[in-house]
């Protein structure tokens, strides 16, 4: 098994002499130095951080443990502070990404990048994609890529440096056209959104892509259910990798190696912690908690101890590929996307994903928690292959009844299964936002779909 190419890339960024191998000690010494630099830089340049970190000095960043006592930056800070978080002039900002939180009408988050910040992401894509493809290969990008400096454009630029041909298709809005594009390129690597790529393999016309044609797939932008990974491996006989990142990390965060068991992080650009969501205290490797990161090299809008809301763990054992880099375990979903029920229990979109996506013929679904006479009710709107609606509905009922994590919710009477409807227009295969359960108990409306 080849070692992740990120190790050599990070070693070079640390400017280690000669052929000296990268060690954890080297990396952590570098991270502490960069953490001191980013704290001082943010204090000096950003009005927001000048206030937030007013009581912090160099002694408070003497090591990683000391750094973990600094205050957090939150999504609400990004949403409300806006330009006060900038560390450069507006003239130096190359791109602004606006993120409207799903289901809210409040202020959007705006993330600012300089040209140098974007170059860091291109560099990460260049080296991270080397696990999946080599010079001469073709990568079809099913992500937004029309605008300059969009995620698809940055990925295409990184791939060209690798000697790989990028084909920027964009999100899957027309499965027939997407499959035709795939068939134009022997042994392609596909990069896309989990449910959209699933629709190409499982949906009507999926047989147009024969097993063995697709060489590899990289899934990104949302939680990746195990069932989708297994379906793609089974249908296409390809390798399936996953990527972790968000706009706040600079679009790129970490990617799996050939072991395909956890994300190797861009540790020279990001320092990542796992903390208890309730107390904010760091947890031991192997324990689940909230992912928190600090940007080490970003100039436009650095983020110090940014709470992502993602639930994951740092894997305690060494990776089979032999790298000294840490591994972030597969993200289990968003902490804030968990819906609290009246009886004190809760239900998460990731739970429903793992229960429902193994159902043959299911392409996607939305879910909502509604009020039914003072009781919580789960309503589902399913997208299924044409002609398979009935068996998919039966499979959904059976899956929820036997699902280990959701079964007690139904048996104890805390949650009832309500309407199961179908969407035939395919509208929720075209978006790029994260999927989550809608809580409509305070709204005067019915199911998600009519």
Parts of the chain belonging to CATH 3.40.50.980: 132-244
For tokens 């199911």, name the residue: 447
- Distance of alpha carbon 346 from alpha carbon 406, whole angstroms: 9
Please tell me the number of Cα atoms within 13 Å of 385 on its side-chain side: 18
* CB of 139 closer than 8 Å to CB of 166: yes
CATH number at 338-439: 3.30.300.30
For tokens 């990104």, name the residue: 220
Parts of the chain belonging to CATH 3.30.300.30: 338-439
Per-residue pLDDT of the chain (450 residues), as tens digits, is 999 999 999 999 999 988 899 999 999 999 999 999 999 999 999 999 999 999 998 778 999 999 999 999 999 999 999 999 999 999 999 999 998 765 444 678 999 999 999 999 999 999 999 999 999 999 999 999 999 999 999 999 999 999 999 999 999 989 999 999 999 999 999 999 999 999 999 988 899 999 999 999 999 988 899 999 999 999 999 999 999 999 999 999 999 999 999 999 999 999 999 999 999 999 999 999 999 999 999 999 999 999 999 999 999 999 999 999 999 999 988 887 788 888 888 888 888 999 999 999 999 999 999 998 888 999 999 999 989 999 999 999 988 876 655 555 666 567 888 899 998 665 444 455 678 888 998 764 444 443
CATH number at 132-244: 3.40.50.980
Distance from CA of residue 355 to its chain's centroid?
Answer: 20
pTM of the model: 0.92
Tell me if residue 405 falls in helix, strand or coil.
coil
Residue 41 burial (10 A CB sphere; 0-12, 13-18, 19+) = middle
Biggest CA–CA distance in the chain, Å, is: 71
Would you state the CATH architecture of domain 5-118+257-335? 3-Layer(aba) Sandwich (3.40)
Backbone angles phi, psi at 138, to 5 degrees: -120, 135
């Amino acid at each position: 098994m080849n070692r992740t190419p990120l190790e050599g890339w990070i070693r070079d960024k640390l400017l280690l002499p000669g052929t000296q191998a990268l060690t954890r000690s080297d990396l952590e010494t570098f991270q502490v130095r960069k953490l001191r630099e980013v704290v001082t830089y943010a204090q000096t340049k950003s009005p927001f951080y000048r206030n937030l970190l007013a009581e912090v000095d160099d002694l408070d960043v003497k090591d990683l443990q000391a750094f973990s006592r600094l205050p957090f930056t939150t999504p609400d800070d990004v949403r409300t502070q806006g330009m006060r978080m900038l560390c450069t002039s507006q003239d130096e900002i190359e791109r602004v990404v606006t993120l409207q939180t799903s289901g809210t009408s409040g202020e959007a988050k705006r993330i600012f990048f300089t040209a140098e910040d974007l170059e860091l992401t291109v560099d990460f894509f260049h080296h991270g994609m080397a696990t999946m493809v080599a010079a001469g290969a073709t990568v079809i990008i099913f992500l937004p890529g029309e605008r300059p400096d969009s995620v698809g454009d940055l990925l295409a630029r990184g791939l060209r440096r690798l000697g790989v041909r990028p084909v920027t298709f964009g999100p899957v809005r027309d499965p027939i056209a997407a499959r035709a594009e795939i068939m134009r390129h022997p042994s392609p690597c596909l990069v896309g959104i989990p449910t959209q790529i699933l629709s190409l393999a499982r949906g009507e016309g999926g047989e147009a892509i024969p097993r063995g044609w697709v060489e590899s797939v990289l899934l990104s932008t949302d939680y990746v259910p195990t069932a989708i990974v297994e379906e793609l491996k089974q249908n296409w006989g390809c390798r399936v990798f996953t990527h972790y990142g968000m706009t706040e990390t600079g679009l790129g965060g970490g990617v799996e190696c050939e072991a395909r068991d956890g994300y190797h992080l861009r540790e020279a650009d990001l320092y990542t912690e796992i903390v208890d969501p309730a107390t904010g205290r760091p947890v031991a490797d192997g324990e689940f908690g909230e992912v928190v990161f600090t940007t080490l090299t970003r100039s436009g809008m650095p983020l110090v101890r940014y709470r992502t809301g993602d639930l994951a763990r740092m894997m305690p054992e060494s990776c089979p590929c032999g790298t000294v880099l840490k591994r972030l375990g597969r993200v289990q979903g968003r902490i804030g996307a968990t819906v609290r029920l009246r009886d004190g229990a809760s239900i998460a979109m990731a739970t429903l994903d793992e229960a429902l996506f193994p159902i043959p013929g299911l392409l996607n679904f939305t879910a909502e928690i509604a009020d039914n006479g003072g009781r919580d009710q789960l309503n589902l709107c399913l997208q299924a292959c044409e002609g398979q609606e009935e068996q998919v509905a039966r499979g959904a009922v059976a899956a929820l009844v036997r699902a280990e994590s959701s079964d007690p919710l139904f048996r104890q009477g805390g949650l009832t299964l309500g309407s199961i409807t179908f969407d035939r227009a395919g509208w929720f295969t075209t978006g790029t936002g994260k999927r989550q359960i809608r809580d409509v108990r305070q709204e005067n409306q019915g199911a998600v779909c009519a």
